Structure 1
């Protein structure tokens, strides 16, 4: 079983700050000067979850809890498990759940400190069992082998895929946790699709790919992938979403994502 956040995990070995999201619906304790601070990618991913979602959700590669907290704030009938391998980030997640901004959902969020790429036996001992989650969301480390690796181990762990088959392994492990008919969402750079799509196509149906563009007329900077396990529905590429208008003004889509009102990515 997943474990409640421990109070003793709340001491940070580095400076932190509190960042509020979705007009105060949730907040995170995030590192300052090192590590990785969650932002738009996490909000985009959480925007694929419907407010009426229920059951159990896994946030894989949770960091300080951005996706998991957003989903718990968004869907009051949902229980969330945040899975993160770096103990420092699990500590920040614990601090975040102690914030008054998060008290409305803190009792529905738990954590597992585990490496998603560990052997199945190790994951099951940690409480990550095959086929038990109704929803799986993941914002994995995705910079490919050969990309510059930060000397900061926390930042490197959050951003860098270690090994040429890292992402495919990550996705296989993620999808194994999902129930039949369960819903999966991931956010990736477009160049990662070639490695991940063959994994999705053997395990998911109703796959939908939504390109995310910084500006109209520019190449996509991210893709959102959603799908249902064991569905037989075909793949679809959905219309792209634009973050900024010509001239740099935020789009209505970006505003809706930033304020927790967006729901997209499904057919």
Structure 2
């Protein structure tokens, strides 16, 4: 069995916890469109157990995945949890009957979501809660977050939340959140093709705050995908492995949460991300963002 120090990227201090920079995102364990149960229940449990057996100590989830389904799977597969495992979840949205993702950030809605996360994960306190902002299309500039953050801070004072973060947030919203309470992480969309948060990542690194990118291969144009595939073919790796290796080298505060419902793909991601990209490789990959 690997230890956490064997994983790509080493570790990061997340609040008062040390986690592997290579984590696991559990969203894909739910059914199609992140709705309903998995096609293969036992395979979903196997992926979670393999992630922990591989040394991963950071798992990302949300009560909205399923809904409830993914949290239930995590509890079934891993409870009682290892002392070094950090499970991060989200609050700020819900699922409607059609599988949509409407916002739910009023105080009573947030409290209900925290209660649901506590129950489904089977814990007395949540390690890390990200306030999910914006909508399915991305961050919404100008959206107020003070009331929602204050509600989560109150729950933190009650002892049911250990650490706070924000997700799907603009730079201004990150700054506003920091003015209300300490945050340990920002979870936004970022990858080789979408470099919007470059300056934010560097700022957060200087403040010892983690940046957790989602959709490492999301939003690529065909030309960008072709460019990444060409680099991956030359290196003898999958495009996902190369994209993850690039993220690890981009900044030491970047924590990865690639998702998969396959043990085989999990192992491929882990082995591929070990790659140390050369300066020439990085320069070629950096040019992908400018290709339409």
TM-score, length of structure 2 as denominator length: 0.37
Identify, as 1 or 2, the structure richer in strand.
1
Identify, as 1 or 2, the structure richer in helix.
2
Higher Cα Rg, which structure: 2
TM-score, length of structure 1 as denominator length: 0.39
